[in-house]
Structure 1
């Protein structure tokens, strides 16, 4: 019997037994974090009460113990917009650099391969840094680390603008530090959106937040090409320094703290460092921390366990999702990193500014994919919920009232515990992915042979928009990201950092060898056939395994979490006695 059916039938049986009413009312949520990622799952009102009284913040809950956000729908959109703007800088600092690669190779008197290594080290640090920033943000709050990241970015951009051309090593070093500052903004933004969103609206919010990071691939190369051609390559880094300085002066004014362990549902007013200078959202619904009932003394407050981000890799379903998104991202990055050299060779009449305009196709496809797929995933979530509710209502009339709630509430996104305990979240998120994967693979193969045959430039640009680095890539990236947050909603920054670690590591590996492969296989035709083949061999089986075994692993993790929570409560009861 499938796991989802087993759980719902168990819930129906429990509804008929008065002695099990408490367990039904507080049945665990689908995809709640395991003990290694989030030691305290949100599956019991007693735990929620304890957590809200021992943490800094205060959680507003309904009768079933669900977290609610005090932010209105419009205020959530305002926060998402801030996060999207901050997330622009991670891809912007990477992509604005691409049109200037030939110029940098000439100025520093090194080969293009060595200049490409500056992209590789950037991606390596881009992979590693968010694992630390994101974990600290899940522990100490979002706002302080937003400001720290932007300060690091601003200072390193000034250093890069002043680096001497005989110090190639310094260029490499500063690019690493620059990545450490800029790359973490997306992980921090994902944590904020995870804090304020419910599953039924998460796809839309993540989709629109993704517009900001997509501005980087879209406008970055244009700005980079124009600045490099008109004012010299150093102007690229002066532009980034000024832009990041402006963000530092803006973000503290408006962005509220959203971490539940500090502000709860947003109604608890935190200390000054966590408060926006101009509190535009939620301020009329906040109450001082001292108004919380029976606040514990500072000495008696237990420490919140610190999360090791690498423990996410102990869960097989998480590893599979990370592997899939890593391979797709690596293939896409191989395309984007080779655009400058391939297009200059294939279409030699392009100027640096023209080369920057080539990247518009990539950015436009990404932006369209991010928004469209986000809305589609929310629609799929509701559709699967309604279908599940109708099926269970037909199969078991005794559970009509409970399962009828699945049809209505899952469609509207109400977070009912008995719904999500057996909700097939993997099916809701992944069932269209095989079609998207095959379309992406076909576009990658076609893109390579279009460049090999030197067809009209419209051909490879169209394939960029649709598949190689555009719509289909974002469809896969966003789907995987949203599923990861669904599985670990209280660790949004940490799980996003793990995703970024795998994606950037594999991307760096592919970028470091793409020029060698292009030379060995005599052009882009067979090179991108090879890359597409890797995506097919890895991606196809991963999707099949995740769809079949993912719900089983998730259910096992949920039960382990409940067992650990029970043991903790038992020990605390014994100590009190």
Structure 2
């Protein structure tokens, strides 16, 4: 492995340099550990974490992760990784579905509980708020106690809350149970990205993290279609019984099949978890035990990072300048996408469209398809660009064209892949808003909805992948930062949406927010240029 030796040499030289620069006052080891931990994955030079050899594994279907002891990064096969994506999607799907599936029933709920539009919108806003806040807590728990128990507990809370909603007799009960429902299931979106980061290397992470994030949020696009069909056929309570049956079934399946992946607990999956809550029944099968090498575990694959539960850890990551500048444009774009989905039922029910509830639900299909393609295609693009830029970086370092201590620019490698989609989104959503205002042909609404969803899912993939790269040992906590930003901003805009429309119409509203997205796109140039420098300097000061 020629590249392994090169990277190992670079790491050794970098280590010796840092040690010489530290004084002997007793803080040397503390400083060195801190810098190494924060910058370890930024440099991409740590042999024990990731080595990609394009010549040995050209098709990506074999193991791409080796260590100096030839210990594989994960024992999952390529097909099993996609099976894990399917399991994770089946869990997180219910989180993104919980909000939009509810939109078609809002008018029925107004009549049922005799409340006005603003009060009934609160039930939507509180769901979005808890969707942003809850993951900052549960994501940290998943980083400490494992992914599996937190995912299953969240699904259980969601099922119980959905039963309560289906049987609710008062408006107050609906508001409370919507909060509980969101708090239970919403952390799974952030945790799923952490799980995908556990079994993928950087050269393939864009594909798998993008797929998990994008497929999970398909509920956001298809939810209103499902909700419209259920409400038209039965009533609003059928929506929550559907969530009970669907999520409950998935929870039972995951109880048997979802394995623990947290690397501080299981390493590359060869280390059997000590706690019963982290053990999946499927791992008791002889074939699985043999594949995971429980009789001869690779203890060297275990992540030795000390991760302690800290309720403020997500916020301390979010306030870092390079992180908030990287995520803000994506959060604005997601908020704009959410508003576009929420605006369709009210606008398409008016003249000249006059669509029925079922027909309005069908109009969500282009958005769903666009989002699906956006998450999958962008994931592939992210990986291709990463491999090429990292290969060029190593070649320049080997040829002496750049300093041997230079660090690979993870921010640029990830964020640049979504830059064109960010600009496109600002234009497309502006057209979407004016298409609704001027009552243009329905084809314009559907096409702009398709392209806008494609762009929104593209940005989601790049942002999630970046966070997993930067914080591999705290990936669930890190990805909850983006979850917090996008959901809180969505809740704020959703709460103000009706007043914004009344003051500057639907076209002006989308133009205003699209302008924020367009200006925000230029903010990512700052972390792309200075992000690595800031992280390194901050690490050296600690």
- Check whether TM > 0.5: yes
1:536, distance to aligned residue in structure 2 (A): 2.0
Distance 1:513 1:360 in 2: 26
Q: Are positions 1:81 and 2:90 aligned together?
A: no
Pair 252,311 (structure 1): closer, same or farther in 2 beyond 3 Å:
same
Alignment match, 1:545: 526
Residues 38/345 of structure 1: CA separation in 2 closer, same or farther (3 Å cut): farther
Equivalent-residue separation in structure 2 for 1:343 and 1:143 (angstroms): 42
Equivalent residue in structure 2 for 1:535, among 517, 520, 524: 517
One of 463, 467, 473 as aligned partner of 2:456? 473
- Deviation at 1:520? 0.7
Aligned to 1:187: 190
In structure 2, relative to structure 1, the CA distance for the partners of 1:549 and 1:11 (3 Å cut) is farther
Q: For residues 96 and 14 of structure 1, what CA distance do their matches in structure 2 show?
A: 54
Which deviations, in whole Å up to 9, do the C-alpha atoms of 1:518-576 show, x marking residues without a partner? 1111x222121111112223332x1121222112113224545xxx6xxxxxxxxxxxx
CA 1:331–1:66 in 2, change beyond 3 Å: closer, same or farther?
A: farther
Report matched runs for 1:347-366 at 5 Å: 347-366=352-371
Task: Select the residue among 244, 249, 252 that pairs with 1:246.
Answer: 249
* From 470, 473, 478, the counterpart of 1:487: 470
Counterpart CA distance in 1 for 2:36 and 2:481 is 12
SS of 1:152's equivalent in the other structure is: helix
Structure 1, unaligned runs of 5 or more: 1-7, 24-32, 49-59, 295-300, 404-417, 565-577
Task: Tell me the distance in 1 between the aligned counterparts of 2:47 and 2:388.
Answer: 33
2:290 paired with 1:284: yes
Preserved CA contact (<8 Å) 2:305 2:473: no
Q: Which runs of 5+ in 2 are unaligned?
A: 1-5, 21-31, 50-64
- The two structures, once aligned, show a CA RMSD in angstroms of 3.5
Distance change >3 Å, CA 250–CA 519, structure 1 → 2: same
Post-superposition shift, 1:310?
A: 2.1
How far did 1:214 drift? 3.4
Give the TM-score taking structure 2 as reference length: 0.84
**TM-score, normalised to structure 1's length?**
0.79
Distance across 2 between alignment mates of 1:14 and 1:331: 47
Tell me which residue corresponds to 2:58: none
**Which protein has greater RCO, CA pairs closer than 8 Å, 6+ apart?**
1
Change beyond 3 A, Cα 1:354–1:383: same
Report deviation, 1:11.
Answer: 7.1
CA drift of 1:514 comes to 0.8
Q: Is the 8 A contact 1:89 1:185 kept in 2?
A: no
Number of residue pairs aligned between Structure 1 and Structure 2? 501
Aligned counterpart for 2:508 among listed residues 518, 526, 530: 526
CA distance in 1, matches of 2:305, 2:92: 34
| The one of 235, 239, 242 aligned to 2:238 | 235
Query: How many Å separate the matches in 1 of 2:39 and 2:532?
Result: 20
Distance 1:293 1:121, change over 3 A: closer
Question: Are positions 1:137 and 2:142 aligned together?
Answer: yes
Alignment partner, residue 422 of structure 1: 407
> 1:177 matched to which residue of 2?
180
Shift of 1:202: 0.3
Name the SS of the counterpart of 2:349 in structure 1: helix
CA distance in 2, matches of 1:65, 1:211: 33
- Does the CA contact (< 8 Å) of 2:93 and 2:215 recur in 1? yes
Distance apart, 1:437 and its partner CA: 2.0
